[in-house]
Structure 1
Amino acid sequence: MNYRHSFHAGNSADVVKHSLLIALVRALQQKPSALTIMDTHAGCGIYDLHGNQAKRTGEAAQGVLRAFADASPLLDDYRATVQAVNLGPEPRLYPGSPRILAQLLREQDVLILNEKHPEDAKALRAAMRDTSAAVHQRDAYELWLAMLPTRTPRGVVVVDPPYEQTDERARITDTLAAARRKWAHGVTVIWYPLKDRATHVRWKQQLRRLGIPKLMSIEHWLYDAEQPGIYNGAGLFIVNPPYAFTQTLPPLLEALRVTLAPEGQRGEISFEWLGN
């Protein structure tokens, strides 16, 4: 599945991913010690929702624009991070994870970004010029392992690939297993698209076999029944989510479900623990 992000910026997957990422980082920042945040597939950093690629799909209408039209205070933090890169009341620009994470940094925190695609890496450097982020252009999985353990006491690795390669899930699984041996206490967030349940169930079984005690799966299915051959939603695997984050999940997930459910659909968003 090809998920080049410039075509999909601001869609329902972004609303869920970024809402949960903000909540996760805020929960970790309840402790004063420094935090390193690493984004292995950072993309361009910022996207034009009026650009040709975003307009071709129009997916922002069912994502960020719905979130901006919603009154739920549970989405206030998400809306504020998007509004921060826009001048008008309706978003024209969409911040990718790098720009959102940069907004969340405290003075003691560190942000490391990586993007292998040459054009996207160039755009990322330009988008992050006014921040303290370090930008790399390396193989994502090599960098993931090379940067562990983090130099700060605590850290988060965000893994958000386009799933263009057929072995993407296998590389994530293998790298996660190796990363756990170097950095067992670290927090890892893995984003994935949901196209069919069978593929996803097989991957969850493979991750279960890694024996990670604190492994959470969050799934957002847009439709009440599976729609074969099309994008059905997205989810996150999270290793070692902090307790403060898990306590906020039920109301936040319900707010996201209500906001993003397509017309005539209830939708489903839920979480479960996969650890032994």
Structure 2
Amino acid sequence: MNYRHSFHAGNSADVVKHSLLIALVSALQQKPGALTLIDTHAGCGLYDLRGDDAQRTGEAEGGVVRVLADNNPLLDEYRRLVRAVNGDGESHLSPGSPRILSQLLRPQDSLILNEKHPEDAKTLRAVMRGTPAAVHERDAYELWLALLPTRTSRGVVVVDPPYEQTDERARITATLGSAMRKWAHGVTVIWYPLKDRPTHVRWKQQLRRLGIPKLLNVEHWLYDTDQPGIFNGSGLFIVNPPYAFTQALPPLLEALRAAIAPEGHRGDITEEWLGR
């Protein structure tokens, strides 16, 4: 499945991913110690919803557009960060994870971004100019391991690939296993699209076999029944989520479900511990 960021910017998957990243980083920042935030597949960082790629799919209408019109206070911080990149004008820009994370940085925190695609990396550098982010152009999985353990005692690695390669899930599984041996206490977030259920069930079983003690799985299914051959939603594997995050998660998930459920569908967002 090819999931280039520019075609899907601001869709329901972006909303869920970014809302949970905001909640996760905010929970970690309840302690004053510095954080290192690493995004292995950073993309362009900022997307114009009026551009050809976004207009071709129109997926933002079911994601960021709906949430900006929603009034649930649990989504206020997400709305604030989206509006911040748009200034006082119409909200036609959708921030990717790099711009979301850069807005959350405290003076003691650091942000490391990586994008292997040369043109996207060039765009990313321009988008992140004026922020303290460091931008790399390396193989994502090599960089993931090379930067562990982080220079600060705490950190978050965000893994958000386009799933263009057939071995993407296998590479993630192998790299995560190696990463846990180097950085067992670190927080890792792995995003994935949901298309067909059997593929994901097999992957979940493979991840269980890694024996990670604290592995949380959040899944967002858009429709009440699986829709064959199309994008059905997205999920996140979260390694070592902090207690403050998991305690606040149920009402946030319900707010997200209600805000972006497609017309005629209730949708479903679930959380499940895989490693306990």
Which category describes the TM-score, using the shorter chain as reference length?
A: over 0.9
Matching residue of 2:2: 2
The separation in 1 between residues aligned to 2:254 and 2:76, in whole angstroms, is 15
Matching residue of 1:19: 19
| CA offset digits 1:165-189 (Å, max 9, x no partner) | 0000000000000000000000000
| CA offset digits 1:167-223 (Å, max 9, x no partner) | 000000000000000000000000000001111100000000000000000000000
For structure 2, the residue ranges without an aligned partner over 5 or more in a row are: none
The separation in 2 between residues aligned to 1:216 and 1:223, in whole angstroms, is 22
Deviation of residue 91 (structure 1)? 1.3
- After the TM superposition, which of the residue ranges 234-243 and 81-90 deviates more from structure 2? 81-90
Paired residues for 1:170-189 under 5 Å = 170-189=170-189
TM-score (norm 2): 0.99
Deviation of residue 88 (structure 1)? 4.1
The separation in 2 between residues aligned to 1:33 and 1:87, in whole angstroms, is 31
SS at match of 1:265: coil
Deviation of residue 70 (structure 1)? 0.5
* Runs ≥4 residues deviating over 4 A: none
Matching residue of 1:148: 148
Matching residue of 1:40: 40
Amino acid aligned to 2:21: L
The separation in 2 between residues aligned to 1:259 and 1:76, in whole angstroms, is 12
Residue 42 of structure 1 contacts residue 160 of structure 1 at CA under 8 Å; is this kept in 2?
Answer: yes
| CA offset digits 1:75-112 (Å, max 9, x no partner) | 00000010001034641111100011000000000100
| CA offset digits 1:50-79 (Å, max 9, x no partner) | 011101111000000000110100000000
Residue 102 of structure 1 contacts residue 111 of structure 1 at CA under 8 Å; is this kept in 2?
Answer: yes
The separation in 1 between residues aligned to 2:187 and 2:225, in whole angstroms, is 32
The separation in 2 between residues aligned to 1:54 and 1:28, in whole angstroms, is 33
Matching residue of 1:227: 227
The separation in 1 between residues aligned to 2:169 and 2:92, in whole angstroms, is 33
Residue 254 of structure 1 contacts residue 269 of structure 1 at CA under 8 Å; is this kept in 2?
Answer: yes
The separation in 1 between residues aligned to 2:25 and 2:124, in whole angstroms, is 21
For structure 1, the residue ranges without an aligned partner over 5 or more in a row are: none
The separation in 1 between residues aligned to 2:53 and 2:192, in whole angstroms, is 21
SS at match of 2:211: coil
Matching residue of 1:167: 167
Q: CA RMSD in A?
A: 0.7
The separation in 1 between residues aligned to 2:90 and 2:17, in whole angstroms, is 20
The separation in 2 between residues aligned to 1:156 and 1:31, in whole angstroms, is 14
The separation in 2 between residues aligned to 1:134 and 1:235, in whole angstroms, is 27
